[in-house]
Amino acid sequence: MYFRLLSALFAVLAALLPVARLAAVETVTFRDQNREQTVVGRVLIEAQDGGLLFQSRDGAIYNIEPDNLLARESDDAAFEPMSQEEVAQSLLAELPEGFQVHTTANYVICHQASTAYARWCGGLFERLAKAFDNYWSRPPRSIETHEPKFVLVAVVFPNKDSYVQFAQDEVGAAAESMIGYYSQRTNRMVLYDLTGIAAGSSRERLSQREIVRILAADRGGLTIATVIHEATHQIAYNSGVQRRFADNPVWLTEGMAMYFETPDLRSSSGWRTIGAVNKPRLNGFKSQMGSWTTADLQNMISSDAAFRQTATARTAYDVAWALSFYLIKRKSKAYCDFLKAHSLKNRLDWDTPEERLTTFIKHFGELEKLNTDFLRYIQRLR
């Protein structure tokens, strides 16, 4: 999803020179993928050519080109995010019949899955959100975080077929190979019930441990890792640690999610430990360490290209985990300062490869020395 957004945003970047940041409520009507849509929200960026980066009350962000803007009305009222009840009603009106709502303190889970699976997801998301905040906000890291300003949404389909049919509009053919994703545009997670147990069946009242047992049998818990991974993206973008539609290097964004994703199959919930060694990612990177050079590190830092190509994507993710793990463990203060600097970047303001490299070196030091220490550290991991 991240890459599709980047491609769309780069296409209009030249025209989107921000001239104002407003907070009053506005109603805009615009064409979105050949259909007319009316949204109530606020302007995040107004371009000199009349284009808008617009945020609706449910937290979604729309990149509206001037030719697609049909009408615009202002209101003196202050912008207020939707309540949980408003979000739930909006989702039920938008999605096919048969969806139900399960709410927790921070989440609205709209689902056609079993009740047990929806509750398992809700419990997992809340534990992750609390742990994520504690991890970054407390010493020695001390990154300033905040409560989510928008209700966090997860849409859970009953099976892969219904999920793929829905997801294709947003992520295209990649939906077939994904078991879930977080969308920066809608600010939602979209998933499907991975237990394969139909809602209303005699097995619907599964315990958390039974759900984890079913999921653990599928690729050693990698399905659990994927759910945590996407939920980490969502909480990172809603707690102030990262900013949506800003220039976040993919290695940084994906590496952080993989740092949190490692499942703990001994736990009744399937996840408990932050920063455990991610064995599949470690083995993947170790398999290529013999040919890894400082030039490879430089390319990873300055460009996201390796993540966009099928032939190199898996390797790029392994590197992103290894590099993030090393920096968080060995250079925690520098990593946190680097993360803070990126959280303050303006939306739609993209660094050049040279600027990315300069910023990285400013925080972490000369690449040759860093790469030597990086490889030595990873080699010692078991």
Contacts of 38 (CB under 8 A, 6+ apart): 27, 28, 29, 71
Q: Once rounded to an integer, what is the mean pLDDT over residues 187-213?
A: 80
Residue 164 is encoded by which pair of tokens? 């793929």
Q: Which of 179, 174, 183, 170 is nearest to 233 (CA)?
A: 183
* pLDDT of 20 over the 70 cut: no
Where is average pLDDT lowest: 146-150, 174-178, 179-183?
A: 174-178
- The span from the CA of 11 to the CA of 65, in Å, is 10
Q: What is the predicted pLDDT for the residue at 10?
A: 38
Q: How far is CA 91 from CA 58, 230, 312, in A?
A: 10, 20, 37
Tell me: the pLDDT tens digits for 60-69? 999 999 999 9
Tell me: the pLDDT tens digits for 95-115? 999 999 999 999 999 999 988
* pLDDT of 300 over the 60 cut: yes
Where is average pLDDT lowest: 40-44, 114-118, 255-259, 327-331?
A: 114-118
Q: Is the pTM of this model over 0.95?
A: no
* pLDDT of 54 over the 50 cut: yes
Residue 14: pLDDT band by 50, 70, 90 thresholds? very low
Q: What is the dihedral of CA 225, 230, 232, 236, to 10 degrees?
A: 160
- The span from the CA of 331 to the CA of 351, in Å, is 23
Q: What is the predicted pLDDT for the residue at 322?
A: 98
* pLDDT of 265 over the 80 cut: no
CB atoms within 10 A of CB 238: 22
Q: Which of 347, 245, 359 is nearest to 302 (CA)?
A: 359
Q: Beta strands 188-192 and 180-183: pairing type?
A: antiparallel
* pLDDT of 5 over the 70 cut: no
Q: What is the predicted pLDDT for the residue at 17?
A: 43
Q: Once rounded to an integer, what is the mean pLDDT over residues 275-298?
A: 94
Q: What is the predicted pLDDT for the residue at 151?
A: 98
Tell me: the pLDDT tens digits for 201-227? 555 678 888 888 888 776 556 788 899
* pLDDT of 16 over the 60 cut: no
Residue 323 is encoded by which pair of tokens? 């590099």
* pLDDT of 229 over the 80 cut: yes
Tell me: the pLDDT tens digits for 40-52? 999 999 999 999 9
Helix extents (H) in the chain = 2-12, 84-94, 115-137, 160-171, 208-216, 222-238, 250-261, 279-286, 294-302, 305-308, 310-330, 332-343, 353-364, 367-380
* pLDDT of 264 over the 80 cut: no
The domains of the chain, with CATH numbers, are 2-78 (2.30.30.520), 84-241 (3.40.30.160), 279-380 (no CATH)
Dihedral angle sign, alpha carbons of residues 331, 333, 334, 337: positive
Residue 9: pLDDT band by 50, 70, 90 thresholds? very low
Q: What is the predicted pLDDT for the residue at 182?
A: 98
Q: What is the predicted pLDDT for the residue at 110?
A: 98
